[in-house]
Amino acid sequence: MLQDLAMTERKLCVAVVTGAHGVRGLVKVKAFTEVPEDVAAYGPVTDEAGRREWSLEVAGRGKGVVLVRVTGVTDRDQAQALHGTQIFVAREALPALEEEETFYHADLIGLAVEDAEGQAIGRVKAVENFGAGDLLEIVDAADKTVLLPFTKAVVPTVDLAAGRLVVVLPEEVAAPADGGASAAEDGPESRGDGQ
């Protein structure tokens, strides 16, 4: 599990291939980096399993995507075969965080989630953003899920060294162990202290 890995052994997903572009092997990628062209700025990339490694070269922009040359991909069929492939970089290849930033979202995956009294709630499975702000997807031991807004009010403590988050559950949200998946009705706000 991710929580058992050293920080330097983690990989972060920086993009996903959404299809081929043209006939000469360019791929369209949806970048998750702040500057979309930075998808090629961190050196070699891999697939999720780390079995395939490529170098990327940005060739242009399209509507909502970056057009990328991938080493070894020279025609449309090879490019289309990568459709849906997530592109990962090693965590240590990313730039150092600014002083006011303390973590990347991927650093949260696998952290234990506790309430203010130290009672276990579950683990962070994912950090999502559907347009209204960041949400933490938390899963408990019974595989029940809850989405929580990633705000200072709901998540007052992020302790990477201890491998845990402390959450204050909103009244309208039941902890997974207390009755299943539920999400806050109010739109989440961005915490502004992470990438």
Instruction: Locate 100 and state its tokens.
Output: 């006011």
Can you tell me the distance from the alpha carbon of 75 to that of 62, in angstroms, rounded to the nearest whole number?
Answer: 19
Closest CA to 31 of 77, 67, 72, 70: 67
pLDDT digits (tens, 9 = 90+) for 15-66: 899 999 999 999 999 988 878 898 898 889 999 888 999 999 999 998 889 9
Q: Which fold has domain 2-93?
A: Elongation Factor Tu (Ef-tu); domain 3 (2.40.30)
Can you tell me the distance from the alpha carbon of 64 to that of 165, in angstroms, rounded to the nearest whole number?
Answer: 33
Domain limits, the chain: 2-93, 105-178
Q: Taking the complete model, does pTM exceed 0.85, yes or no? A: no
What CATH class does 105-178 carry?
Answer: mainly beta
